[in-house]
């Protein structure tokens, strides 16, 4: 009886130890307090609030043992300096998009968006079921960083244009805000792509620095009031069929965390990632209705010759990127192989269903 009682007590204690990261009450001297710098305006819908949500989940799942203070773009560091700030330890965490670092880490671009690449569901499968996260870890370790997927915008719009696009000729000389691999593709068809922070898009469009701009989608585009500076909104998604928001952790700070708090951060990232996808799914639909019905935005699709040129240029850019950088080749080979594998079912499953669903509208 005494032996049974001892084993029962031991088992309960072990179970309590496993659950501890999610229910423990912190003592003041045990609290880990970190700073998170971001590339977004403070509390900006979905992107900024997504960083807040990530921090909140860490606090809740740790039972208060870990607290993260979130800083908007420019509060501690400029929007496009998050990578360096976290790498150097100015802040322990960051929230941004990896394609902003293309000049420093060309291969990082694959961990935001690939033109004509995988959709959100496929991308998450590559990260969590394929080699995506492993390859991302390997790439960022050389920069003293531990990466996480902390959100995804889903399929993005092709962007806002001041003038209507009727042919490939209309793209020549066009100045457009478009970062990452898609920006280089746009350069190849005769436009000029610029990378600027989201907070500068409105003014740049207003003053003529830009003729067009990609931002995110209806929810975030409405929040910036972009309908006030351009009347044509192009729906032809090609540039960012899925767009990962990255969380970064200074690798030294990560290694110093106890194992249970590492689990907390990892699980908080995973749940925050899904939460943002859910939010965009609803809010984009609501915002699109507002843009069209209340603000008279004109929805358009890019002409076939423009899309054909973009598709051809995308293949060239992706091939050149892989050929010129060993890290890019390793990651893109994995990405491309995974896309070919999963699209077999996506095409006969999701894509076929979406076409069939349109039959309801004809009935």
**In this structure, are residues 235 and 134 in contact, taking their beta carbons and an 8 Å threshold?**
no
Count other Cβ atoms within 10 Å, centred on residue 189.
Answer: 18
pLDDT of residue 11: 44
Q: How many angstroms separate the CA atoms of 202 and 224, rounded?
A: 7
**In this structure, are residues 69 and 51 in contact, taking their beta carbons and an 8 Å threshold?**
no
Q: How many angstroms separate the CA atoms of 265 and 55, rounded?
A: 9
pLDDT of residue 362: 75
Strands (E), 39-106: 66-71, 93-96
Q: How many angstroms separate the CA atoms of 137 and 260, rounded?
A: 19
138: exposed, middle or buried (Cβ count in 10 Å: 0-12, 13-18, 19+) = middle
> What is the pTM for the complete model shown?
0.89
**In this structure, are residues 163 and 232 in contact, taking their beta carbons and an 8 Å threshold?**
yes
**In this structure, are residues 251 and 144 in contact, taking their beta carbons and an 8 Å threshold?**
yes
Strands (E), 182-225: 192-194, 212-213
Q: What pLDDT tens digit does each residue of the chain (363 aa) get?
A: 443 443 444 444 433 433 344 434 444 458 999 999 999 999 999 999 999 999 999 999 999 999 999 999 999 999 999 999 999 999 999 999 999 999 999 999 999 999 999 999 999 999 999 999 999 999 999 999 999 999 999 999 999 999 999 999 999 999 999 999 999 999 999 999 999 999 999 999 999 999 999 999 999 999 999 999 999 999 999 999 999 999 999 999 999 999 999 999 999 999 999 999 999 999 999 999 999 999 999 999 999 999 999 999 999 999 999 999 999 999 999 999 999 999 999 999 999 999 999 888 876
Dihedral pair phi/psi, residue 326, rounded to 5°? -55, -40
Report H helices in 89-212: 120-128, 132-141, 180-188, 201-207
Q: How many angstroms separate the CA atoms of 269 and 121, rounded?
A: 16
């Amino acid at each position: 009886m005494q032996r049974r009682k001892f084993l029962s007590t031991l088992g309960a204690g072990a179970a309590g130890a496993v659950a501890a990261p999610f229910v423990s009450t912190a003592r003041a001297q045990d609290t880990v307090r970190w700073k998170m710098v971001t590339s977004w305006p403070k509390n900006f819908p979905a992107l900024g609030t997504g960083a807040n949500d990530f921090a909140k989940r860490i606090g809740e799942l740790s039972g208060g043992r870990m607290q993260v203070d979130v800083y908007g773009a420019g509060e501690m560091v400029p929007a496009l300096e998050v990578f360096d700030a976290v790498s150097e330890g100015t802040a322990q965490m960051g929230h941004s998009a990896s394609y902003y670092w293309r000049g420093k880490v060309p291969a990082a671009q694959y961990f935001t968006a690939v033109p004509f690449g995988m959709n959100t569901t496929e991308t998450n499968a590559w990260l969590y079921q394929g080699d995506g996260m492993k390859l991302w870890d390997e790439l960022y370790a050389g920069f003293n960083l531990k990466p996480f997927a902390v959100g995804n915008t889903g399929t993005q719009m092709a962007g806002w244009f001041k003038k209507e696009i009727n042919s490939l000729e209309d793209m020549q000389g066009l100045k457009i805000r478009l970062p990452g691999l898609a920006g280089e593709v746009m350069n190849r068809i005769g436009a000029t792509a610029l990378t600027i922070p989201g907070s500068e898009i409105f003014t740049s469009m207003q003053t003529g620095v830009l003729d067009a701009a990609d931002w995110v989608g209806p929810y975030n585009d409405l929040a910036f009031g972009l309908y006030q500076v351009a009347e044509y909104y192009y729906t032809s998604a090609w540039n960012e069929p899925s767009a990962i928001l990255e969380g970064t952790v200074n690798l030294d700070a990560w290694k110093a965390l106890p194992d249970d708090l590492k689990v907390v951060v990892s699980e908080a990232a995973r749940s925050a990632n899904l939460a943002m996808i859910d939010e965009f799914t609803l809010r984009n639909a609501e915002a699109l209705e507002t843009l069209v019905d209340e603000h008279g935005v004109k929805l358009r699709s890019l002409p076939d010759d423009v899309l054909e040129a973009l598709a051809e240029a995308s293949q060239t850019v992706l091939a050149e990127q892989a050929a010129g950088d060993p890290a890019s080749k390793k990651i893109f080979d994995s990405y491309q192989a995974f896309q070919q594998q999963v699209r077999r079912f996506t095409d006969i499953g999701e894509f076929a269903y979406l076409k069939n669903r349109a039959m309801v509208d004809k009935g």
